[in-house]
Amino acid sequence: MAIDRVKAIEYAKRFWNRPCDDGVFWLRDQAVNVEQKRRELRASARDGWEALFVADGNGGEKAVFQRTVGGLPETKLIQPWEGLADCAHFLSKCLQAGGIPISELRVPTLVKKLQERSDTKTLAEKVPRSQAQAVVNTGIFKKGDMIGYFNVDPKGDYRGAQNYSHCTMYAGKPNPQDVGRVTCHTIARFPGLSFVADEWFLKTGYTYTLIHFSNDDPPMANAASLAGWWKVEYGNTTKFYYIFKDGRARYTLRAPKSNQELHVAEGSAYWFQEQQKITFIWRKTGTVEVEVWTKGGNAREFSILVNNARGKSTKLF
């Protein structure tokens, strides 16, 4: 079953700045039960107290009960910034609303389980911002797809731990020129509503993993004719691709001697079809992120565009 992207985003918009409908939010090592905190702090919903995540004035956020009395705000602190870690829980709940049965509390585990699913494709893995932006700009990466943030800053998240430290759900572009926005918890974000910046890259100190739900992708009408070996030439570069009918591709720098499938490759990609255009997204080659093929003079030849360099691809066998 394909993800219901609309329902996932609707859920995110409803709960972006408040605890999810299971009544808890997570710290690094334990859950906070909202109803229990209501009793402890005497913050009954009947008296107008709402549980919210709000800016703390120091660049972070805090969980509070808040209400307005006589036009003046009243606040009771539930949890300060230190210890808040609800992003994986929030995104699990968003995905559940979209029909994806997943429930994880730790970011590395959530990223791993999403990558292992048969209905996802990892379009980019631990790549820098510029390469990830090129993938986002293709439009293949859609609302409801997921981003994992791998910390590479020695002074970054969790004392500089080299691991996935944050995750978000991609929420689209308000206009074609925009870089793209995300929704998440800790810090709470939703496009147009956030009290902090919600551009997808968030800040420096990360590399990015883009995970795409693929069940609602357009059909691959040219799969049979594309399958096999291709010679790809652009600039001073020559590569050889083996294209699979199932939407995968691999490349090598060595010319093939037969039509045998390529097993040991220099890099791997997924390809996507839109009318007469084929887009290849390379997972982590380090130099090429997005490559576009358009119909050439015949069915065995395409004009290609790679990193602004033009070239051609020719079917070998």
**What b/e string do you get for 215-230 counting C-beta neighbours within 10 Å, with b at 16 or more?**
eebeebebeeebbbbb
Q: Average pLDDT for residues 231-246, to the nearest whole number?
A: 95
Domain at 307, CATH number: 2.40.128.280
Quote the pLDDT of residue 283: 87
Q: Is 95 among the domain residues?
A: no
Question: Which of 192, 213, 234 is the C-terminal boundary of a domain?
Answer: 213
Question: Which of 161, 180, 213 is the C-terminal boundary of a domain?
Answer: 213
Q: Average pLDDT for residues 9-14, to the nearest whole number?
A: 98
Q: Is 188 among the domain residues?
A: yes
Quote the pLDDT of residue 123: 96
Q: Average pLDDT for residues 283-310, to the nearest whole number?
A: 84
DSSP three-state, residue 53? strand
User: The tokens of 99 are what?
Assistant: 């029909």
Domain match, 244 and 209 both = no
Quote the pLDDT of residue 99: 98
Angle at 243 between CA 240 and CA 249, to 5 degrees: 85
298 pLDDT band (50/70/90 cuts)?
confident
Quote the pLDDT of residue 241: 97
Domain of 167 in residue numbering reads as 105-213
Domain match, 194 and 249 both = no
Q: Is 199 among the domain residues?
A: yes
pLDDT in tens, 200-225: 999 999 999 999 999 999 888 878 88
Domain match, 122 and 203 both = yes
Q: Average pLDDT for residues 143-149, to the nearest whole number?
A: 98
pLDDT in tens, 71-93: 999 999 999 999 999 999 999 99
Q: Is 196 among the domain residues?
A: yes
Domain match, 141 and 205 both = yes
Which residues are CB-neighbours of 18 under 8 A, at least 6 positions away? 50, 51, 52, 53
Q: Is 48 among the domain residues?
A: no
pLDDT in tens, 261-284: 988 888 999 999 987 899 999 987
285 pLDDT band (50/70/90 cuts)?
low
* Percentage of the residues of the chain whose pLDDT score is greater than 90: 86
Q: Is 77 among the domain residues?
A: no
Residue 120 has pLDDT above 90, yes or no: yes
Q: Is 185 among the domain residues?
A: yes
Domain match, 116 and 194 both = yes
Question: Which of 183, 213, 243 is the C-terminal boundary of a domain?
Answer: 213
299 or 98, which is more confident: 98
Task: Count the domains in the chain.
Answer: 2
Quote the pLDDT of residue 21: 98
Domain match, 134 and 165 both = yes
In 3D space, the residue among 197, 159, 155, 191 whose CA is nearest the CA of residue 175 turns out to be 191
**CA 187 – CA 197 distance, rounded (Å):** 10
Quote the pLDDT of residue 67: 97
Q: Average pLDDT for residues 115-119, to the nearest whole number?
A: 97
Q: Is 186 among the domain residues?
A: yes
Residue 286 has pLDDT above 70, yes or no: no
Residue 288 has pLDDT above 70, yes or no: no
Domain match, 227 and 193 both = no
151 pLDDT band (50/70/90 cuts)?
very high
Inter-residue contact 58 to 193 (CB < 8 Å) = no
